[in-house]
Amino acid sequence: MNKKISVTICDDHQIVRDGLKQIMGLYPDIEVMGGDIASGESLISSLKGIRPDVIVLDVSLPGRSGLEVLKQVKALYPEIGVLILSMYPEDQFAIRMLKAGASGYLNKDTPPEILIDAVRTIAKGEDYISPDVANLLVGEVLSKEDEAPHKLLSDREYEVLLLLGQGNSVTEIGEKLSLSVKTISTYRLRLMSKLKLQSNADIVKYSIRNGILAID
């Protein structure tokens, strides 16, 4: 009998965790281990006792961001594959995640069969690169000489930039990221200084102009 692929899910929304467990429960070659893990701290703690083949990790987590958690996981347990499953489109976070050590990146709108294919691919020690992400990687290489200013932001500054660009207030962002208003305000001031922006309206315009804010 072949060994099952063990998967640990880290997402701060119960309904997402339950949905992913239901989906994976339909496939006899995959088992979910680790219980309910809703934060980076809980994930790192759980890895002291379990070693999944694949971690399915969200970007937006309370406290430490998914990017920070990813870097710690890869530093401590480089053999574990990490699949990022995020609400953010590929063009907003995929490159950063892959550079930080992720083995794949999918948007939460992804069909279940694609998710399962990605998990199986990563469990074999391979990277899962979707066509959209492949195009982004090509663009990253071609545009290397003309680095956009936002690519030089820290991981958390970049996440705050995205949320501000979507029209969230510092209070709303603080609630989403489980950080204080003062902390979010500090990130806002830093990113505005680095991007030479003066207001939230400037942030929205910058986000649209640089293609990091999806417009329906």
pLDDT along the chain (216 residues), means of 10: 88 93 95 91 93 93 85 94 86 80 90 95 93 72 61 84 88 87 92 90 84 55
Give residue 164's domain range: 149-209
The whole-angstrom separation of Cα 129 and Cα 126 is 9
Provide the whole-model pTM. 0.75
Predicted local distance difference test score (pLDDT) of residue 139: 61
Residue 200's domain is classified under what CATH number?
1.10.10.10
Asked whether residue 28 falls in the same domain as residue 58, the answer is yes
Domain end position, chosen among 141, 169, 192: 141
Sequence-separated (6 or more) residues with CB below 8 Å from residue 31:
4, 5, 6, 7, 24
Tell whether 41 and 19 lie within a shared domain: yes
| CA gap 185, 114 in Å, rounded | 38
Look up residue 188 and give its amino acid. Answer: R
- 108 with 133, same domain? yes
Residue 214, in any domain of the structure: no
pLDDT at 77: 95
Q: What is the CATH number of the domain that holds 123?
A: 3.40.50.2300
Q: Are residues 64 and 97 in the same domain?
A: yes
